[in-house]
Amino acid sequence: MVVSSISRKKPSLYNALAKSQNPKFLVFACSDSRVSPSHILNFQPGEAFEIRNIANMVPLFDKTQHSGAGAAMEYPITKLNVENILVIGHSRCGGIKALMSIEDDAAPNKSVFIENWVKIGTSAKNKIKEEFKDLSFEEQCTHCEKEAVNVTLGNLLSYPFVRERVEKGKLALRGAHYDFVDGTFELWELDVKTTPAFAFS
Amino acid sequence: MAPTFGKCFTFCCAKTSPEGDEMATESYEAAIKGLNDLLSKKTDLGNVAAEKIKVLTQELKELDSSNNDAVERIKSGFTHFKTEKYLKNDALFSDLAKGQSPKFLVFACSDSRVCPSHILNFQPGEAFVVRNIANMVPPFDQKRHSGVGAAVEYAVVHLKVENIVVIGHSCCGGIKGLMSIEDDAAPTQSDFIENWVKIGAPARNKIKEENQDLSYDDQCNKCEKEAVNVSLGNLLSYPFVRAAVVKNTLAIRGAHYNFVKGTFDLWELDFKTTPAYAFS
């Protein structure tokens, strides 16, 4: 089977990419079939290093339980020197719905893996359930889709190689939410800075 | 360090947060005052300060333009998608808003050059995609590999995909990392990468043994394909995958995309039980 039209139409791009990649973006997106970043942000080959998993989550730094997520960040950040991390949540996310459906965190899981994974976003669920008690379950899920992105952005800072670069201004962290029901895309930034230290004497 | 969330954009309108700007101005002014106070006392530091300020100014210019570039790139990318795909395919996106029923679960590397939407022209709704370093599927492990497990469980049990395809590729940095590990027992040089790619260790061992005469690059190329086979085997360690394969409701395939040559190899994993013997 031979790759068709695109590579024949852009030989110089593909020749360059055959030698190396130099993406500016590291993108976390959900595995959902409807939210490929290549479609929704029109990323071309070479532009974005992509990690796709259930509910676009990044767990806290954990060499034992989360080597996959750690490896997928360590490589683009320390070897490819990406300049931007973008975490994209989305509407009607099954993973977030599963998270919001967990009534009792201590109860045994009904699934083999799913609940343990989506529980990465537990602090988002708790915050939404408390602040938006009067909203419908679906509206709460929408809020949780965005709040879980914020939890992930925070978790990113638990990786020393992320923290160092963010502090030096070499790496920007952004969150986003793609709503395919309304056709909208929200983007926000995580500002991380140290305020001048006080020196007491 | 107190992270704050600022500068929220909703395309097509952009909003900025003024509070962040005021705080930034105050800390900048305090810093400049501190510098002026120091230089008025130590005038010999003037030249040093001037050089450092030039470097800082240049860095800030680059940072500003790269931040603006990134936001512009994201904005123009979404605008392109919305006008060329989303608004032109109303029926498709109306259906997708209600639910997804992809026929494929695809494992692909996170490498920026190998997105399945490009190389296999998957449209929205067609493929549930997992992307990680070197497109690995680890063996069933509820403690150490819940991420991949969750994705496989959701796709196979809930979405009931009919096909799993694991796609390896040329010039894979993860496989190169795997092949570079000379001694499995030695301490790792990375925090995570080596521990992750060691999922493919059986592939590396096999290739190194059977192809001792090949160049390192040729060995890596073979390992890219053999590691796909290791992943295919690991898929069978998930009971829900095994059950679906045995019932013939799920097919498992491996593939290798070579972007140097522009080729795509595809193969199947044949899994069958032979008739059992009944001894009496």
Q: What is the pLDDT of residues B197-247, one digit of tens each?
A: 999 999 999 999 999 999 999 999 999 999 999 999 999 999 999 999 999
What does the domain layout of chain B look like in residue ranges?
Answer: 24-67, 99-266
CATH of B99-266, one of 3.30.70.20, 3.40.1050.10, 2.102.10.10, 3.90.1150.10: 3.40.1050.10
Partners of residue B160 in chain A, C-beta under 8 Å: none
Mutate to test the interface with B, among A13, A14, A35, A75 (most CBs of B within 10 A): A75
Using the beta-carbon criterion (under 8 Å), do A1 and B266 form an inter-chain contact? Answer: yes
Q: What is the pLDDT of residues A68-100, one digit of tens each?
A: 999 999 999 999 999 999 999 999 999 999 999
Closest residue by Cα to residue A39 from B126, B247, B274, B264:
B126
Using the beta-carbon criterion (under 8 Å), do A36 and B117 form an inter-chain contact? Answer: yes
Q: What is the pLDDT of residues B176-194, one digit of tens each?
A: 999 999 888 888 889 899 9
What is the distance between the alpha carbons of residues B236 and B256, in angstroms, rounded to a whole number? 20
CB count in 10 Å sphere of residue B152:
27
Domains located in chain A, CATH noted: 23-194 (3.40.1050.10)
Using the beta-carbon criterion (under 8 Å), do B150 and A154 form an inter-chain contact? Answer: no
- Residue A8: which pLDDT band, with cuts at 50, 70 and 90? low
Q: What is the pLDDT of residues B48-62, one digit of tens each?
A: 888 888 888 887 776
Q: What is the mean pLDDT of chain B?
A: 89
Arithmetic mean of pLDDT, A3-7: 45
Using the beta-carbon criterion (under 8 Å), do B263 and A43 form an inter-chain contact? Answer: no
A146 touches chain B (CB under 8 A): no
Verify whether residue B113 is a known catalytic residue. yes
Per-state percent for chain B, helix, strand, coil, to nearest 5: 55, 15, 30
Of A50, A113, A153, the CB nearest to B150: A113
Range with the poorest average pLDDT among A3-17, A157-171, B242-256: A3-17
CB distance B264 to B258 below 8 Å: yes
CB distance B254 to B165 below 8 Å: yes
A21 touches chain B (CB under 8 A): yes
Beta bridge pairs of residue B272: none
3-state SS, residue B231? helix
Using the beta-carbon criterion (under 8 Å), do B110 and A72 form an inter-chain contact? Answer: yes
What pLDDT does B15 receive? 32
Output Rg (C-alpha) for chain A, integer angstroms: 19
Arithmetic mean of pLDDT, B41-70: 82
Closest residue by Cα to residue A176 from A167, A187, A189:
A187
Range with the poorest average pLDDT among A122-126, B24-28, B83-87: B24-28
Strand segments, DSSP code E, in chain A are 25-30, 48-53, 84-90, 172-179, 184-191
Q: How close, in Å, is residue A133 to chain B by CA atoms?
A: 23
What residue of B is the nearest CA neighbor of A27? B110
For residue B109, say whether it is annotated as part of any ligand binding site. yes
Q: How close, in Å, is residue A134 to chain B by CA atoms?
A: 24
